[in-house]
Amino acid sequence: MYPSLQGKVVVITGASTGLGRAMALRFGQEGAKVVVNFYNNGEKADEVVKEIKNSGSDAVAIQGNVMVEEDVKKLVQTAIDSFGKLDIMINNAGVENPVPSHELPLKDWDRVIGTNLTGAFLGSREALKYFVEHDVKGNIINMSSVHEMIPWPLFAHYAASKGGVKLLTETLALEYAPKQIRVNNIGPGAINTPINAEKFADPKQKADVESMIPMGYIGKPEEIAAVAVWLASDESSYVTGITLFADGGMTKYPSFQAGRG
Ligand code: NAI
């Protein structure tokens, strides 16, 4: 448990499912108040809110598209209206779809870059605006991926978006460090969430992914939530501008395991 998170106010985008949901629940358990953003899954978001309230903290659900400037402004405003302030912004919403790059439609490119990169930019900008205006030593966490460093055929738009998030985060960390505002990325490997549901439902594809993970298993959303609360807490007070990979070793060239090569 992280006592410094008690009473903190956190906005999490895409928080009705997967990693966003796991983080929302964990922040609630830590005594933080959570703005649960959802895109098109109101019922699931309401369940997350209910669970947080049951665990003794407070939460509110709000619909919004992270690609839409006014919607993102509304997220920060909801934190202020509901809980009086903003301390932590987690830009988690993300999408992906496999397409050979020579056939990648512009609308797919725009949707993935718009959600994963522009969404993280808008969320970061609105949070920074609030932190600077109110002299808050705030905290921003962007959900990147191992694919901010590992190229990914059929997912050029996704890899480009996460590569963009890497330098967005590093740049903002550098720019706002003098104000004690910290900006970091989490880089998950393969985690069991709806984004991977189809792939992991197929035993062959699941085994193939597992073979690329030195620790040998697909991560649980709670293992990413555990990283998020540490990064948002005072326990990581001197950490800014990093990507914390939580990937079972996936970024460490697993094909070289057992002395091959
Ligand atoms: P997910 O599909 O459960 O979560 C994505 C969430 O984003 C959904 O709730 C979805 O409704 C929301 N969303 C999509 N477009 C949106 C928009 N325009 N505005 C607001 N919300 C929107 O999948 P997961 O795994 O929880 O993904 C969360 C983040 O983690 C994503 O950024 C993803 O790229 C990243 N990630 C996931 C990995 C995994 O293996 N699950 C690995 C590396 C990164």
Q: Distance between CA 80 and CA 112 in Å, rounded?
A: 29
189 and 248 Cβ atoms separated by less than 8 Å: yes
What pLDDT band is residue 261 in, cutting at 50, 70 and 90? confident
Handedness of CA 159, 181, 79, 49 (dihedral sign): positive
Q: Which of 95, 150, 205 is the pocket-test mutation for ligand 1 (most atoms within 8 Å of CB)? A: 95
> Does 261 reside within a domain?
no
Would you give the DSSP letter of residue 55?
T
Beta-sheet strand order (sheet of 243-246)? 59-63, 33-38, 9-12, 88-91, 139-143, 182-188, 243-246
pLDDT tens for each residue of 196-222? 999 999 999 999 999 999 999 999 999
Q: Is residue 99 situated within a structural domain?
A: yes
Average pLDDT over the chain reads 98
- CA 157 from chain centre, in angstroms, equals 17
Write the CB contacts of 229 (distance below 8 Å, at least 6 apart in sequence). Answer: 2, 5, 23, 26, 27, 30
- CATH code for the domain in which residue 202 is found: 3.40.50.720
- Tell me how far the alpha carbon of residue 119 lies from the centroid of ligand 1, in angstroms: 12
What is the token pair recorded at 258? 């057992």
Inside any domain, residue 258 = no
- The protein residue with its alpha carbon nearest to ligand 1, atom 41, reads 191
What backbone phi and psi angles, to 5 degrees, belong to 89?
Answer: -120, 125
pLDDT digits (tens, 9 = 90+) for 78-90: 999 999 999 999 9
Q: Is residue 207 part of a domain?
A: yes
Q: Pick from 249, 258, 175, 234: which is nearest to 5 by CA?
A: 234
Print the domain residue range for 179.
3-250
**Judging by beta carbons within 10 Å of its beta carbon (0-12, 13-18, 19+), is residue 15 exposed, middle or buried?**
buried
Phi, psi (deg, nearest 5) at residue 14: 60, 45
Share of the chain above pLDDT 90, in %: 98
Q: Ligand 1: which residues within 6 Å by Cβ?
A: 13-14, 16-20, 39, 41, 65-67, 92-95, 115-116, 143, 145, 188, 190-191, 193-196
Q: Is the pLDDT of residue 96 over 90?
A: yes
Dihedral sign computed on CA atoms, order 19, 22, 28, 34: positive
- Residue 68 tokens, joined: 């839409």
Q: Which of 193, 209, 223, 247 to mutate to test the pocket of ligand 1 (most atoms within 8 A of CB)?
A: 193
Spatial distance between the Cα atoms of 218 and 209, rounded to a whole number of angstroms: 8
pTM: 0.99
The candidate with the shortest Cα–Cα distance to 16, out of 40, 43, 35, 44, is 44
Rounded CA-CA distance 190/247 in Å is: 7
Burial (CB < 10 A; 0-12, 13-18, 19+), residue 223, is: middle
User: Which residues, other chains included, contact 12 with Cβ-Cβ below 8 Å and sequence gap of 6+?
Assistant: 20, 23, 24, 27, 34, 35, 36, 37, 90, 92
Pairing of strands 182-188, 139-143: parallel
pLDDT in tens, 33-76: 999 999 999 999 999 999 999 999 999 999 999 999 999 999 99
Domain count, the chain: 1
Q: Is position 147 within any domain?
A: yes
Q: What is the pLDDT of residues 159-195, one digit of tens each?
A: 999 999 999 999 999 999 999 999 999 999 999 999 9
Q: Is residue 260 part of a domain?
A: no
Tell me, yes or no, if 253 is annotated catalytic: no
Q: pLDDT (tens digit, 9 = 90+) per residue, 112-153?
A: 999 999 999 999 999 999 999 999 999 999 999 999 999 999
In a domain, 257, yes or no: no
Residue 9 placed within a domain: yes
| d(C-alpha 59, C-alpha 30), whole Å | 13
* pLDDT single digits (tens) 220-233: 999 999 999 999 99
Whole-number Å distance, alpha carbon 260 to ligand 1 midpoint, is 35
- CA-nearest residue for atom 18, ligand 1, is 65
Report CA(20)–ligand 1 centroid distance (Å): 7
**Contact 15/38 with Cβ under 8 angstroms?**
yes
